[in-house]
Structure 1
Amino acid sequence: MDAFIHTFFDIGEMLKVFPTLLTEGLKNTLFIAVLAALLGLVIGMVLAMMLLSRSWFLKFPARLYVDIFRGLPAILTISLVGLGLPAADIRPFGRSPIGYAVLAVALISAAYCAEIFRSGIQSVNDGQMQAGRSLGMTYLQTMRKIVVPQGVRNVLPALTNRFIIDIKESSLVYLLGLTVGQRELYFIAHQQQAISYNSSALVAAGICYLMMTVPLTYLVNAWDRRLREGRRSLKLKPATRLSEV
């Protein structure tokens, strides 16, 4: 039991690595996750609109993209983007691995966001489109002003949950060999564990991840519950009014 506690819960090892985890690792983890999530949202929305198109010329490449990036393991995609592109002399971010890390996580996130947006938009009642067209709006105007905003609102919890996954998947970018100042939580803990042969640094990194993901998870659950209760109350109101007549 003493060996177990020493290996995973050595307070000295944790205190040694915590300052670097909080000042460098946490900052870079959030930087990678937030930028990747924002880029993934933009690409995902474009892909969702292509998936909803009636033209196979737009729908087919979007479906191919989504199927590929959802089907590949995240670690393989990050390796192909972060290691493969520079090796092929394709260097949009120069020699800095942080840009490739953001791009790799964003490409993965975009595939999932596309399906989330698609399902949200398709969940909007067809009458909303008909109402917009009856007011003289074009198809694109109706989608932009009426259908898409409602669809996005329906999937806000799912998008927040996707951001939680982006935070966790950012740990895989350690493969790209981030330099000092660019290291995220897992890379810092992994380096310390390799030096000390003690896993307490990894447990400390896990605590930092939990500090971000657990509150967000509860937020998603509360948000989803509130949206479901709101929809239920809207369905009950017409029946209540009829009974009052």
Structure 2
Amino acid sequence: MTRTMISIGTETRISLQDCYGGTHQGRVRPINEDRFLNRPDLNVWAVADGMGGHAHGDIASSAIIQAVAEEFEATKAGVKVLQAFSNAVHSAHNRIRAISEANGKIVMGSTVAGLLLAEGRFHIPWTGDSRVYLIRNGRISQMTRDHTEVQMLLRENAISEEEARNWPRKNVILHAIGVNEAPYVEAIEGDVEAGDTFVLCTDGLTAHLTDQDIQILVTGNTAQRACVELVRVALERGGKDNVTVVVVHVPALAR
């Protein structure tokens, strides 16, 4: 697997049989600012989390999901999947910035995490703290890394793991679409294997479930059942934020 800034991939379909997405506003938030995309016909999935506490977070997340869907629906043969995703993100970024300007420069933005499958490869672009996991051969791996203050400090060895667990500014996001002058998107890619399962989620899930919890609830379940169970457990444990999950099983590759 390779981890790079947004780069170029190739476009060929992978056959999928089982994928599902679900979202809930949670038990505390008055509205749901999360959105998700479940488009196996286009081999693209995404979750977006409008910035909690900021005005029009739901508009920002909707703009991203809509832009990704429209870009992939309009993509011509030969257009690279990561380039298509990048085009969509930039389009959504510009729209969010325009809405912000028109409303007195209110702060609004959204995280996004995507999964693109092409040519026997997976491509995972993201910004913010929405995550993508890969469950393979009985192990779960977090494929994304949170673009947050606490994770940056951990990577720089400025704080310890124990300090990170009790960090008072855990929710400070360093990158979000629509907030900065230009969008920042990181990406990782690798080969897909038959039997892989990808889990895309917003931080409303990971606030209540560990990686091991996610693996247990996903393994052996259909994508739909896995989503229902993941959301249910997050709500049972407090549901303090909007929670959104997309599960994608890859049973076989098209050759």
TM-score under structure 2 length normalisation? 0.26
Larger Rg: 1
Instruction: Report the structure, 1 or 2, having the larger strand content.
Output: 2
